[in-house]
């Protein structure tokens, strides 16, 4: 049903983070209902007024290497298009004409809606590439939700696909290698008759196997843009919550990481809550372990509380089936989660590695740039209200070649370097930031920033730069190090992406309804709205255009919401010519340099969606909605190639009160079939490039 958007307002029954109670329960362990874990008294932007760096310095393109292949063929599809054109917002203004928009954004925007389907622009087609339960490994059975087993699930595509990477597959025509995160499980809409108070061992073991990562080869259908999975390909792989991972870098082997099952502190079983990620220049993928806290019971220490670990039982009750999830029995097990995982999808026998040099927090993503001399720079946000964003600058250069020695060398790049946290200062006086989102007197939310070093890892040991903390402590309790260093409390830092076209870095802040509440940090120039429910995006310019720089300039690129809301800002672009957007989360660049934004928890009454926005030229700030997702779903993992857009439709049907018996969504297979998270490909019916 199409729904008109309230100008400002919270959809009834939604939770503070903008999602259903069910989402809060299973995705982040009801984080919004717990105390904000950051009770540190470090400064916020408004405390310090300092001169801004010139952020208008000329920029060179950063040496970001994009591995994603550009593919696409002439498309003539008979598939049901499910297309619908509409004006871009609730205000009766002219729709941007298809031929008069930024290159890459020349499509008729999709109207906000609450339809239980994926809606794409007029003239575009779509198909479901792969769904939860589709068999991908040799011997895996067809999906049978009524008789699901852990063994079956371990050979099938996992649950709640999030980050996606699409990598080239040399030598195999029309094929690419898809890598996906499986962030978490929604037991009540996965298992018929599920009893949350008494999950069975079988259900728990299926959930373990439904977490983790997947690699699966996909093939383009000749003559269309349709993508389909290639089952049983030798590169297809699943890793789950129980497979072997290696801890590497400065904290590996530390006392803090040793458990009774692993006295070495170097081997971990499984990865949990992999949210978004990134792709490295050498074709490995990075995966952020985000809300890992929710899987561990009986936390009791101060460090546990800073990470939001509960003192009682967990929602999923895994601690009843494996003692490592009970911190009263295995207090260090939780120190082995909350890292960035590096995965080599081209080597199915490789052991994924958790990179402790990138710190331990709720990593949303990990995106990679390169210094001019070939060292990796990794940006990562800590997705929690009032938490921080970080940068790692490697000290070793990437080598080229495919010899074993080169591969070994490149596998160590993320183990040595310096981890920094961001501190931002506004250039307008504090009295000019009133929490309403009104632009300050200088016409811009902007200022300067520093990357504060926390610790440096070398081949010969690690050095802490934080008084009172050892280097190991910095890498394992990174949030505490950020507190001590005086990092800036942000409105839920999610994805961070350097533009491959300009080198500018985009920091996505989803929302923070606690901003300005009694006892919480008030609005500041970098987070200028109190009770910020729609989020914003910050544009950061590293000094001298060097990604390894320790200083930067910043300004707000986008302040999200209904464009008729005076607190919104679209990089100065006329607001009567943009789509409404709320709760930006993950982002990606298209080949033209436009930023594509997927949303999580739309607070304007529409379903979540995918939007493209111009970042350069006369149309900078022009934002248009490309698709919407089904009931209860979040849009994740966007990839925008020349001729294809890919999204992960995560947690469809995740609505309060929904169960297998009483589903809130019947996507993608229709009535009578269980709702299934899935990956969707979109292309142009006429075979031309997206948005041109
Ligand atoms: Fe998994 Fe921060 O979203
Ligand atoms: Ca300013
Ligand atoms: Ca996310």
Cα-to-centroid distance, 252 and ligand 3 (Å): 27
Phi/psi of residue 257, each to 5°? Answer: -110, 5
pTM: 0.90
Query: Tell me, what's the pLDDT at 214?
Result: 98
- For 50-93, write each residue's pLDDT tens digit: 222 222 222 222 222 223 222 222 222 222 223 333 333 333 33
576 alpha-carbon distance from chain centroid: 29
Atom of ligand 1 nearest to the CA of 183: 1
Cα-to-centroid distance, 446 and ligand 2 (Å): 4
Q: Which among 654, 645, 660, 637 is positioned nearest to 162, based on CA atoms? A: 637
Coil, strand, or helix at residue 322? Answer: coil
End-to-end CA distance of the chain: 30
Q: Per the omega criterion (within 30 degrees of 0), is the bond before 668 cis?
A: yes
**Ramachandran area for residue 183 (φ above 0: left; ψ -120 to 50: alpha; else beta):** alpha
Query: Tell me, what's the pLDDT at 470?
Result: 98
- Residues 274, 290 contacting (CB under 8 angstroms): yes
Cα-to-centroid distance, 362 and ligand 2 (Å): 30
Which residue's CA is the closest to the ligand 1 atom numbered 1? 275
Please, which residues have CB less than 5 A from ligand 3, an ion? 275, 585
- Residues 352, 213 contacting (CB under 8 angstroms): yes
Atom of ligand 1 nearest to the CA of 162: 1
Please state, in angstroms and rounded to a whole number, the distance separating the CA atoms of residues 534 and 498: 22
Predicted confidence (pLDDT) at residue 7 exceeds the cutoff of 80: no
Please state, in angstroms and rounded to a whole number, the distance separating the CA atoms of residues 93 and 95: 6
Please state, in angstroms and rounded to a whole number, the distance separating the CA atoms of residues 127 and 272: 28
Please state, in angstroms and rounded to a whole number, the distance separating the CA atoms of residues 512 and 493: 10
- Pick the ligand that lies closest to the CA of residue 382: 1
- For 519-573, write each residue's pLDDT tens digit: 999 999 999 999 999 999 999 999 999 999 999 999 999 999 999 999 999 999 9
Please state, in angstroms and rounded to a whole number, the distance separating the CA atoms of residues 116 and 99: 30
Coil, strand, or helix at residue 86? Answer: coil
Cα-to-centroid distance, 2 and ligand 1 (Å): 27
Cα-to-centroid distance, 357 and ligand 1 (Å): 21
Please state, in angstroms and rounded to a whole number, the distance separating the CA atoms of residues 106 and 684: 12
Q: Which among 510, 464, 506, 208 is positioned nearest to 359, based on CA atoms? A: 464
Predicted confidence (pLDDT) at residue 2 exceeds the cutoff of 70: no
Atom of ligand 1 nearest to the CA of 27: 1
- Pick the ligand that lies closest to the CA of residue 364: 1
- Residues 118, 628 contacting (CB under 8 angstroms): yes
DSSP-derived letter for residue 476 is H
Atom of ligand 1 nearest to the CA of 290: 1
Coil, strand, or helix at residue 580? Answer: coil
Cα-to-centroid distance, 561 and ligand 1 (Å): 19
Phi/psi of residue 116, each to 5°? Answer: -85, 60
- Pick the ligand that lies closest to the CA of residue 441: 2
Q: What is the number of alpha carbons within 13 Å of residue 262 lying toward its C-beta?
A: 25
Please state, in angstroms and rounded to a whole number, the distance separating the CA atoms of residues 558 and 572: 9
Provide mean pLDDT across the span 490-519: 97
Atom of ligand 1 nearest to the CA of 362: 2
Which residues have a Cβ under 8 Å from the Cβ of 451 and sit 6 or more positions away? 391, 420, 421, 422, 423, 549, 550, 551, 552
Instruction: Give ligand 1 pocket residues (Cβ under 6 A).
Output: 183, 275, 290, 364, 383, 494
Which residues have a Cβ under 8 Å from the Cβ of 165 and sit 6 or more positions away? 67, 68, 178, 179, 277, 279, 285, 345, 639
- Residues 478, 390 contacting (CB under 8 angstroms): yes
Cα-to-centroid distance, 174 and ligand 3 (Å): 30
Cα-to-centroid distance, 558 and ligand 2 (Å): 14
Atom of ligand 1 nearest to the CA of 275: 1
Query: Tell me, what's the pLDDT at 43?
Result: 54
SS (H, E, C) 54-74: CCCCCCCCCCCCCCCCCCCCC
CA angle 459, 465, 468 (to 5 degrees): 115
Query: Tell me, what's the pLDDT at 393?
Result: 98
- Residues 134, 161 contacting (CB under 8 angstroms): no
Atom of ligand 1 nearest to the CA of 600: 3
Cα-to-centroid distance, 585 and ligand 3 (Å): 5
- For 385-398, write each residue's pLDDT tens digit: 999 999 999 999 99
Which residues have a Cβ under 8 Å from the Cβ of 96 and sit 6 or more positions away? 88, 109, 577, 622, 624
Query: Tell me, what's the pLDDT at 25?
Result: 78
DSSP 359-416: -SS-B---EEEE-TTS-EEEEEEB-SEEE-EEEEEESS----S-SHHHHHHHTTGGGS
- Tell the residue number behind the tokens 């599809």, with chain if given: 77
User: How does the average pLDDT of the chain come out, rounded?
Assistant: 89
- For 259-294, write each residue's pLDDT tens digit: 999 999 999 999 999 999 999 998 999 999 999 999
Cα-to-centroid distance, 444 and ligand 2 (Å): 4
Cα-to-centroid distance, 477 and ligand 3 (Å): 22
Predicted confidence (pLDDT) at residue 158 exceeds the cutoff of 70: yes
Please state, in angstroms and rounded to a whole number, the distance separating the CA atoms of residues 57 and 175: 41
- Pick the ligand that lies closest to the CA of residue 556: 2
Counting residues of the chain whose pLDDT is more than 70, the rounded percentage is: 89
- Pick the ligand that lies closest to the CA of residue 598: 3
- For 397-454, write each residue's pLDDT tens digit: 999 988 889 988 999 999 999 999 999 999 999 999 999 999 999 999 999 999 999 9
Provide mean pLDDT across the span 296-311: 96
Atom of ligand 1 nearest to the CA of 364: 2
DSSP 24-60: HHHHSSSGGGSPPS-------GGG-B-PPPPTT---P
Atom of ligand 1 nearest to the CA of 273: 1
- Residues 423, 487 contacting (CB under 8 angstroms): yes
- Pick the ligand that lies closest to the CA of residue 50: 2
């Amino acid at each position: 049903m199409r729904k008109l958007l309230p100008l400002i307002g919270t959809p009834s029954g939604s939770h503070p983070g903008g999602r259903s109670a069910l989402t809060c329960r299973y995705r982040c362990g009801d984080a919004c209902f717990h105390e904000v874990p950051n009770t540190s008294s470090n400064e916020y932007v408004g405390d310090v007024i300092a001169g801004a760096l010139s952020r208008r310095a000329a920029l060179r393109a950063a040496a970001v290497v994009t591995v994603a292949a550009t593919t696409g063929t002439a498309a003539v599809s008979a598939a049901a298009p499910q297309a619908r054109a509409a004006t871009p917002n609730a205000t009766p203004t002219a729709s941007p004409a298809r031929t008069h928009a930024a290159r890459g954004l020349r499509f008729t925007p999709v109207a906000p809606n609450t339809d239980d389907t994926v809606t794409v622009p007029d003239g575009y087609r779509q198909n479901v590439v792969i769904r939860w339960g589709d068999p991908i490994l040799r011997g895996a059975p067809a999906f049978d939700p009524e008789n699901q087993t852990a063994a079956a699930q371990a050979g099938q595509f996992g649950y709640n696909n999030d980050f996606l990477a699409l990598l080239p597959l040399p030598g195999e025509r029309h094929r690419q290698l898809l890598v996906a995160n499986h962030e978490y499980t929604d037991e009540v809409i996965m298992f018929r008759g599920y009893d949350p108070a008494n999950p069975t061992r079988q259900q728990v073991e299926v959930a373990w196997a439904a977490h983790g990562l997947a690699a699966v080869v996909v093939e383009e259908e000749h003559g269309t843009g349709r993508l389909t999975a290639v089952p049983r390909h030798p590169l297809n792989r699943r890793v789950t919550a129980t497979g072997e991972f290696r801890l590497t870098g400065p904290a590996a082997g530390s006392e803090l990481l040793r458990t009774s099952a692993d006295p070495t502190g170097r081997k971990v079983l499984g990865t949990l809550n992999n949210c978004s990620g990134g792709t490295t220049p050498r074709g490995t993928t990075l995966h952020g372990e985000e809300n890992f806290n929710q899987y561990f019971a009986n936390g009791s220490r101060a460090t546990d509380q800073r990470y939001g670990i509960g003192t009682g039982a967990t929602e999923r009750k895994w601690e009843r089936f494996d003692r490592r999830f009970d911190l009263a029995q295995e207090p260090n097990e939780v120190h082995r989660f909350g890292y960035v995982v590096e995965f080599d999808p081209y080597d199915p026998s490789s052991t994924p590695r958790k990179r402790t040099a990138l710190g331990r927090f709720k990593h949303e993503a990990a995106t990679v740039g390169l210094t001019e001399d070939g060292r990796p720079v990794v940006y990562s946000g800590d997705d929690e209200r009032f938490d921080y964003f970080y940068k790692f600058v490697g000290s070793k250069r990437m080598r080229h070649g495919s010899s074993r020695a080169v591969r070994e060398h490149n596998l160590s790049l993320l183990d040595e370097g310096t981890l920094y946290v961001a501190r931002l200062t506004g250039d307008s006086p504090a009295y000019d930031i009133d929490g309403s989102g009104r632009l300050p007197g200088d016409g811009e939310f902007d200022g300067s920033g520093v990357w504060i070093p926390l610790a440096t890892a070398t081949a010969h040991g690690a050095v802490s730069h934080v008084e009172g903390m050892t280097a190991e402590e910095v890498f394992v309790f990174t949030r505490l190090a950020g507190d001590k260093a005086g990092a800036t409390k942000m409105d839920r830092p999610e994805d961070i992406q350097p533009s491959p076209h300009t080198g500018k870095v985009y920091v996505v802040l989803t929302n923070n309804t606690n901003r300005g509440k009694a006892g919480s940090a008030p609005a500041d120039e970098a987070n200028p709205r109190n009770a910020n429910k729609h989020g914003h995006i910050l544009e950061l310019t590293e000094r001298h255009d060097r990604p390894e720089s320790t200083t930067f300039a910043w300004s707000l690129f986008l302040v999200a919401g209904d464009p008729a809301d005076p607190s919104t800002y679209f990089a100065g672009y006329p607001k009567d010519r943009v789509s409404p957007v709320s709760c930006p989360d993950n982002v990606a660049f298209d080949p033209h340099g436009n930023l594509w934004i997927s949303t999580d928890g739309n607070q304007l009454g529409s379903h979540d969606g995918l939007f493209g926005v111009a970042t350069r030229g006369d149309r900078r700030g022009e934002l248009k909605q490309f698709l919407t997702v089904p009931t209860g779903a979040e849009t994740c993992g966007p990839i925008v190639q020349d001729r294809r857009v890919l999204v992960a439709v995560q947690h469809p049907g995740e609505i309060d009160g929904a169960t297998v018996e009483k589903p809130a969504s019947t996507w993608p297979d229709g009535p009578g079939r269980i709702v299934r998270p899935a990956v969707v490909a979109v292309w142009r019916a006429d075979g031309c490039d997206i948005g041109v």
